[in-house]
Amino acid sequence: MSIWKRKSLDVLLNEADESEKGLKRTLSSRALVALGIGAIIGAGLFSLTGIAAADHAGPAVTLSFVLAAVGCAFAGLCYAEFASMIPVAGSAYTYSYATMGEFVAWIIGWDLVLEYALGAATVGVSWGSYLNKLLAQFGMSIPPEFSSAPAEGGIINLPAIFIVCVLSMLLIRGTKESAFVNNILVVMKLIVVIIFIVLGWQYINPDFHVPYIPEYVPAHVTETGEKVGEFGGMSGIAAGAGLVFFAFIGFDAVSTAAQEAKNPQKGMPIGILGSLAICTILYVLFSYVMTGLVPYAEFKGDASPAATAFAVTGYTFLQTGLIVAILAGYTSVILVMLMGQSRVFYSMSNDGLLPKFFGDIHKKFRTPWKTNIFFMVFVSIFAGFVPIKDLGHMVSIGTLFAFSLVCLGILIMRKKMPDAPRSFKVPLVPFVPIAGIVVCFYLMYALPGESWLRLLIWMALGVSLYFIYGKKNSKLNN
């Protein structure tokens, strides 16, 4: 039994054609773009922007977004080609299975747990922070011990757990119903971002953008024992990009829904590249306004910096509406991430690498409901007990690793299957895939050492599980 055995393209396409036995094809190109925007605009913009500015890049966090977007553009082109060739649920996991073999596919599928499940937990934590901001408008609040992780002085983050559980139950009801809710939330979120940019622009204080790129300060340990990462200069911008890279994983989530797209060959490239382009423009404008309203140092440790910055404008009557819409936006992000993760495990279970439990389809709703329940519990544990900053770094390094393998997969596919049908082709090969790999690894290098350690521990656990269960039960190897 070879761990490098690849799943043929014909087998994958046959799986996609058997949709009447599994997932419903209900998503249009417009719904796929909305799905991508729903996942992209969220914690990366409304929460991690402030943390990246305060801890790493200062006002140049806008350049951090540009650098992250460049890496995403290279990876996004590669995702679009794969998604048009292999319209099957599973995203990078499925693509790796077809190009680099079963073991690499397992590694990437396991890595995607970091990207989607912990991504949902990260946004859940920020959702709870904004909920407290909303309650404060009415003179109420959730006690800190029940709205913060133990490392932040609390006991458990109950709001984060609550939203994860509610959305998991919605996903069990069905993809079409979830997409309808997501479309409404996306419209609300876009309105908020545009209002923030338009109204906030006239209150920008140019002094807060001077110097635009702060002087470089190397990583060090303070007198109180706190570890401080690189700040300022190109290194600070790169470190900020590594953190806010988390904000761009939405187009990746689009590819996990390929088996539920009405016309995946056309819809996948539109959904992936369209959502990425729209959100990059909004990110740069939003972060420029936010750092111009409040000195970036004031965002340190603030999980709801957008609300903090908007208070400066004096539009107090819009403050409540802003927070409500941000909460709605976060809700769509968690929804898409939980959906993406369940589809990856659904694919892995169908291949025999995970127990049949994860591939069970609900008789009425035709969704992988047992997987949804499993991740409801798994994500809730992280959302309730781990600080947002640690979660954000873990998600970013997992995402960057996944993107690197997808770019590598395009190089292999062009070599081994040059004549395979492609309704979309990556331009300038091999430059684009190689550039994607280089940018992704550069951003991984800029992340804290703790992120690498956690990634290695997580991967060691995954490799052990593969050899204990996955290799023996693989349908391809049996």
pLDDT the model gives residue 159: 92
Question: What's the rounded mean pLDDT across residues 115-139?
Answer: 85
CATH of domain 25-470: 1.20.1740.10
pLDDT the model gives residue 460: 93
pLDDT exceeds cutoff 90 at 99: no
pLDDT exceeds cutoff 90 at 179: no
Residue 226: pLDDT band by 50, 70, 90 thresholds?
low
- % the chain with pLDDT above 70: 86
For 335-358, how does the pLDDT look when each residue is reduced to its tens digit (9 = 90+)?
878 887 787 888 888 888 888 888
pLDDT the model gives residue 70: 86
pLDDT the model gives residue 208: 93
pLDDT exceeds cutoff 60 at 474: yes
Neighbours of 205 (CB within 10 A): 13
Half-sphere exposure of 7 (CA within 13 A, CB side): 27
3-class state of residue 147 by DSSP: strand
- CA-to-CA dists, residue 472 to 105, 191, 196, 475, angstroms: 15, 51, 54, 9
Greater model confidence, 151 or 132: 132
pLDDT the model gives residue 20: 43
Average pLDDT, the chain: 81
For 26-42, how does the pLDDT look when each residue is reduced to its tens digit (9 = 90+)?
566 777 777 777 767 76
pLDDT the model gives residue 19: 46
pLDDT the model gives residue 436: 92
pLDDT the model gives residue 158: 93
**Residues 6+ away with beta carbon under 8 Å from 447:** 239, 242, 243, 393, 396, 397
pLDDT the model gives residue 7: 77
Question: What's the rounded mean pLDDT across residues 433-452?
Answer: 87
For 48-80, how does the pLDDT look when each residue is reduced to its tens digit (9 = 90+)?
788 889 888 999 999 999 998 888 888 888 887
pLDDT exceeds cutoff 80 at 252: no
Contacts within 8 Å (CB) and 24+ apart, 354-363: 354/469, 354/470, 355/469, 361/22, 361/23, 362/172
What burial class does residue 121 get, using C-beta atoms within 10 Å of its C-beta: 0-12 exposed, 13-18 middle, 19+ buried? buried
Tokens of 143: 């006690």
Residue 287: pLDDT band by 50, 70, 90 thresholds?
very high
Residue 279: pLDDT band by 50, 70, 90 thresholds?
confident
Residue 307: pLDDT band by 50, 70, 90 thresholds?
confident
**Range in 85-99, 112-126, 438-452 the model is least confident about:** 85-99
For 308-344, how does the pLDDT look when each residue is reduced to its tens digit (9 = 90+)?
888 888 776 777 877 887 888 788 778 878 887 787 8
Would you kindly state where each structural domain of the chain is located, as residue ranges?
A: 25-470
Instruction: Give the helix/strand (H/E) hosting 313.
Output: none
- CA-to-CA dists, residue 12 to 5, 262, 406, 470, angstroms: 14, 17, 17, 19
Distance CA 19, CA 259 (A): 7
Phi and psi based region of residue 307 (left: phi greater than 0; alpha: psi -120 to 50; beta: remaining): alpha
Contact 86, 258 (CB under 8 A): yes
- % the chain with pLDDT above 90: 16
pLDDT exceeds cutoff 80 at 299: yes
